[in-house]
Amino acid sequence: MPSNSPCLWVVATPLGNHGDLSPRAREVLEAVDIVLAEDTRRTGLLLKSTGVTVKKLVSFHDHNEEAKAPGIIAAMKEGQVFAVVSDAGMPLFSDPGYRLVKLAREQSIRVSVVPGPSAPLTALAGSGIAPQPFTFIGFPPRKTSDQKKLFEEFSALRSTLVFFERKNRLAATLKTAFEILGPRELCVARELTKLHEEFILGRLENYDEIPEDLLGEITVVIGPPESSGKTSEAELRKLIAEETELGGKPKEIARRVKEEASGWTVKAVYQFMQDN
C-alpha cells in the first residue's frame, strides 16, 4: 500500500467465489490498522480461506455504524488507517459504510476505493437485459403499500431496475412490481459466482412461474418499460384524474380511460377507480 495512502479504504470482497479477491484488496486489508467488517465471522472465514492476515477485525454494521463512526473518524485524524468491508461485494450498496464515508469526506479525510465484485452489476451483466440506463433501488420496503409507492416513482423511467430481495418475500414483491410496472423482461439471479449460480429468465407478468423455494442471495433485474405493454398503475391514475376533470359518471370515465390505456378492460379500470 502506498506510503501516502488514504485514511479510509472501501474494499470490495468476493460475492461467493473467493478467487475474486483482488491482489490489491489483499494488500490493503493486510496493511491497514483496522478492518471494519459487517460480520466479523463471515469476513474471518474469508480471510482464513484466502490466507489474508489482518492486524485487527472490528464489527461495523447497520446497527452500530452511527454510534461508532465518530470514534473511527477521531482515530483516523490521529493517523490510524481503516478499511471497511461488507459481507460480500461492494460496501455501501444496501450495506454499511455510507455514513462513515460521508463523515470522512466532511472532515477532509482521504477516502479511496478498491473496486471489485458487485452483485447488482454482476446480475445485470449476466441477465441479457439492457444494461443502461439502470437504477439500483436496494431492498424494496416490506409493506405492499410502500412497495407500490416506490415502484410508482420509477414506473415512468425508461430504465432497467435492479434490486435485492429475500426469498420469502420474492413472490409478493414481483407481483406488486407487475401490478405497477406492467409487462417487462425479468431476471432473478441467485448465488452469484457460487457453485449453484443461476439466472432465471422470464417475464414480469409471469412472476408466478418463478420457483418459490429459491435458496441463497437473490438479485432481481427488471427491464425498462415496453411501449406495447400494459399501462402502469401510476399512468392509469393520471389518466383517470384527467378524465375525471372532464366530468361524467364513473363507468363513462372508465370507458374513456380504457381507450387511452393499454392492457386494461373497462371493468378493470372501473374496479381500480373503486379501490383507489
In DSSP notation, 15-30 reads SS-GGG--HHHHHHHH
Query: What are the φ and ψ backbone dihedral angles of 184, each rounded to 5 degrees?
Result: -155, 165
For residue 129, the model assigns a pLDDT of: 97
Residue holding cell 372532464?
246
3-state SS class at 47: helix
Order of strands across the sheet that contains 198-203: 134-136, 160-165, 218-222, 185-190, 198-203
Q: Do the beta carbons of residue 159 and residue 120 sit within 8 Å?
A: no
116 burial via Cβ count (<10 Å: 0-12, 13-18, 19+): middle
List per-residue pLDDT tens for the chain, 276 residues long: 554 556 899 999 999 999 999 999 999 999 999 999 999 999 999 999 999 999 999 999 989 988 999 999 999 999 999 999 999 999 999 888 999 999 999 999 999 999 999 999 999 999 999 999 999 999 999 999 999 999 988 987 889 999 999 999 999 999 999 988 888 999 999 999 999 999 999 999 999 999 988 988 999 999 998 765 678 788 889 999 998 989 889 999 999 998 888 778 788 899 989 888
The CA distance from 185 to 205, in Å, is 9
Please indicate, yes or no, whether the overall pTM of this predicted structure exceeds 0.75.
yes
| Residues 6 or more apart in contact with residue 116 via CB below 8 angstroms | 11, 12, 13, 14, 20, 21, 22, 25, 89, 90
For residue 265, the model assigns a pLDDT of: 79
Domains of the chain (ranges, CATH numbers): 7-117 (3.40.1010.10), 120-222 (3.30.950.10), 233-275 (no CATH)
For residue 259, the model assigns a pLDDT of: 84
For residue 119, the model assigns a pLDDT of: 97
3-state SS class at 57: strand
For residue 229, the model assigns a pLDDT of: 62
Cis peptide before 6 (omega within 30 of 0): no
For residue 112, the model assigns a pLDDT of: 96
Q: Do the beta carbons of residue 152 and residue 234 sit within 8 Å?
A: yes
Interior/surface letters 74-101, b for 16+ CB within 10 angstroms, e for the rest: eebeeeebbbbbbbbbbbbbbbbbeebb
The residues with which 165 forms a beta bridge, in sequence order, are 218
